[in-house]
Structure 1
């Protein structure tokens, strides 16, 4: 039999991304002993910028970093749908969750830095340049050895280690490898145009380009195209290859593109998803965020789902300690609450991708698409 839970837990978070650092902050602020282990030598987030919709900002408030996110980013309220020349066709107000802003664009490196600072300030330890070497769950705790030679015993191990999750592979082998959707995302940071005061999404046939403000001075240009799985942009020609794909666009997209002269500034990412169909936890080891349910970016909800996972997991553990329940029972309750919402976001996001790119959709996807992106935004500002 498992012993009664103590008043606090020892938690190892595998992965120092947005979800992992948010969980570390929330748990450490509640008095738990938390260590984040990250394989990279620095928490230098890859990519350009990220959209924090209102539900993500709601979690940032609970983690005590909302003001810092808004100060580092660019708050906005209106999504503009435009033609390839940038002429507005619709202006869609974005809903709010309680009294937090509708949306915030922020550079990924800035978000990574402020979340790391918050986790450390809350009392969490961040160990860089290491990953899990061995792991043994005996039902009462998890013994872990890291690749740097350190070892410890933990009440819980959380895998916030991304779409290529090594912890997922450790639990399930290659059964849930990332599934490539056939499309890829091109992004590059450029100077913000004065007229870009919120996301501007320009639609052409089987192509989408958008401009997202992330500071007063900067925005990012993003574009989605069908690409072969083996394709990679040339290291010296990535900006030229992007320009060819965006030839159908003029107006602000062309103006932004004209400032891109460095091929190394172009970030190319294949759009894949992961669906772990088996339980997201095995004993005292749990997968969260992209490790369990990575989705396409078409609802701007990938990181939002990760930070929602974090706050709901922190709450589930709090409730378990209060009620004398086990850690595995807390994980089961957490998954029962999170899986339906995360799977709905994943399914709708992929359906939106296929619809925008002119790809065939299934009857189930057509039914999902009836809610539309504005409808989804209103659903997602409801309690998680």
Structure 2
């Protein structure tokens, strides 16, 4: 059921970007009676896993998607993120106790399934989702934003939300070259194999020069992720060779099973880790940035997706409050900036520590303060 919006001056919203941030914002705004268009160049999401912890779970609940994500993913009452050495001996356990409200503390879900769920939630709230489309120009007026699309059509909106990721077209058009992503000097290798025997614990495994994240997922899938201090582009063969080298550092049965199953036809996703934090304010007039368009970093806190979910829900909450558009966007950024900065800066710190050879205990201790912040309500 749609709620009545108290923000009568924001009746139409364009969201550029149909990822986690964009679709969640669309669902939240649509549920408040706002007419929302979402556009994206591509449909769906890459075939990897996304861990959702801390208050990301509450954000899913706020848009009515939690039950569907729990059903589609692997949910845990206690986060399965303990730290082990190369032989599988437990070194450090930072996991908080289970939540008192009965919600899962941690969910891992296949990204394409999450995209399907969020798209369905958005469409059920009356949102229009158009694929194969982006923006070519934005012209701001006091009471609206005129938009030209790449297919030659145009539109007029009360607000434009840039949720189009690290290479945001919206940020480039509105903010220019004020902020650009900066390489962290690292890449991530991510692999989601099927049929791996469940013969070990999920968590962080530390080898000679490697922090390996291994988490069993749903539907017989396992999520594997590792960082490497080199940001050059790798082809599929090079990525498999590097992942095999990383896995060979471990004698843990689960990781040796992964090593044995890394065949030549397996696809390993390679991503350059870049860092970005747009200084406040994240808006110019009636255009605002959320998600990776405003803040992006490495995956060392496992909170990039969580920040996108939180951004979306908080934006919808603040737009429904009384006040001018400017004051409501300011309120959104006050709730988000320091929290997102904690994630960006701590993640880069952890990446640097890992490159310098920090052990499991040191890495866990450095994560602790940020995880305490993220456990608090957004």
Relative to the length of structure 2, the TM-score reads 0.90
> Cα–Cα, structure 1 residues 359 and 326, in superposed 2: closer, same or farther, change >3 Å?
farther
For each residue in 1:123-176, what CA deviation from the matched residue of structure 2 results, as whole angstroms up to 9, or x when unmatched? 100011000112101111001111122221101000010011111111222332
Q: Structure 1 residues 249, 282: CA separation in 2 closer, same or farther (over 3 Å shift)? A: same
SS at match of 1:339: helix
For residue 17 of structure 2, the aligned residue among 15, 18, 26 is: 15
Aligned position for 1:247: 248
Are the counterparts in 1 of residues 354 and 363 from structure 2 also a CA contact under 8 Å? Answer: no
Q: 90, 98, 102: which is aligned to 1:88?
A: 90
Tell me, what secondary structure is at the counterpart of 1:140?
Answer: coil
User: Residue 282 of structure 1 is aligned with which of 281, 284, 298?
Assistant: 284
Q: Secondary structure of the residue that 1:348 maps to in structure 2?
A: helix
The one of 291, 296, 299 equivalent to 1:297 is: 299
2:247·2:258 contact (CA, 8 Å) conserved in 1? Answer: no
Counterparts of 1:165-180 in structure 2, within 5 Å, are: 165-180=168-183
Contact kept in structure 2, 1:276 and 1:293, CA below 8 Å: yes
- What per-residue deviation string (whole Å, max 9, x for no partner) do you get for residues 169-207 of structure 1? 11222332211101110010123442456x311112432
Q: What are the equivalent positions in structure 2 for 1:17-32 lying under 5 Å apart?
A: 17-32=19-34
C-alpha distance 75-347 of structure 1, shift in aligned 2 (>3 A): same
Aligned to 2:319: 317
Counterpart of 1:334 in 2: which secondary structure? helix
Q: What is the alpha-carbon distance in structure 1 between the residues aligned to residue 114 and residue 145 of structure 2?
A: 31
Matched, 1:194 2:188: no
Seen in structure 2, the aligned counterparts of structure 1 residues 97 and 46 have a Cα distance that, compared at 3 Å, is farther
Paired residues of 1:317 and 1:330 also in contact (CA < 8 A): yes
Residues 375 and 300 of structure 1: is their aligned pair in 2 closer, same or farther, counting only changes over 3 Å?
same
Alpha-carbon distance, 1:244 to partner: 2.2
What is residue 54 of structure 2 aligned with on the other side? 54
SS of the counterpart of 1:265?
A: coil
Alignment-derived partner of residue 232 in structure 1:
233
For 2:123, which of 120, 128, 135 is the aligned residue? 120
Runs of 4+ deviating beyond 3 Å: 94-99, 368-372
- Does the 8 Å contact 1:208/1:225 carry over to 2? no
CA–CA distance in 2 between the matches of 1:138 and 1:99? 47
Query: Which stretch shifts more, 294-303 or 202-211?
Result: 202-211
Change (3 A) 1:167 1:315: same
Equivalent residue for 1:365? none
* Structure 1 residue 98 displacement after superposition: 4.5
Does the Cα contact within 8 Å between 1:179 and 1:273 map onto a contact in 2?
yes
Q: Which residue of 2 aligns with 1:260?
A: 262
Q: Is the contact between residue 51 and residue 103 of structure 1 (CA under 8 Å) also seen in structure 2?
A: yes
Does the 8 Å contact 2:7/2:320 carry over to 1? Answer: no
SS of 1:25's partner is helix
How far apart in 2 are the matches of 1:131 and 1:356? 38
Q: Displacement, 1:218?
A: 1.0
Taking structure 1 as reference, are residues 357 and 291 closer, same or farther at Cα in structure 2, changes over 3 Å only? same
1:344 aligned to which of 339, 342, 345: 342
Quote how far apart the aligned CAs of 1:336 are: 1.5
Equivalent runs, 1:323-362 vs 2, <5 Å? 323=322, 325-358=323-356
Q: Which residue of 1 aligns with 2:3?
A: none
Give the 3-state SS of the residue equivalent to 1:274 in structure 2: strand
The alignment yields a C-alpha RMSD, in angstroms, of 2.2
Equivalences for residues 127-206 of structure 1 within 5 A? 127-191=130-194, 192-196=196-200, 199-206=202-209
Aligned to 2:309: 307
Cα contact 2:236–2:267 (8 A) shared by 1: no
Quickly say closer, same or farther: Cα 1:222–1:123, change in 2 above 3 A.
same
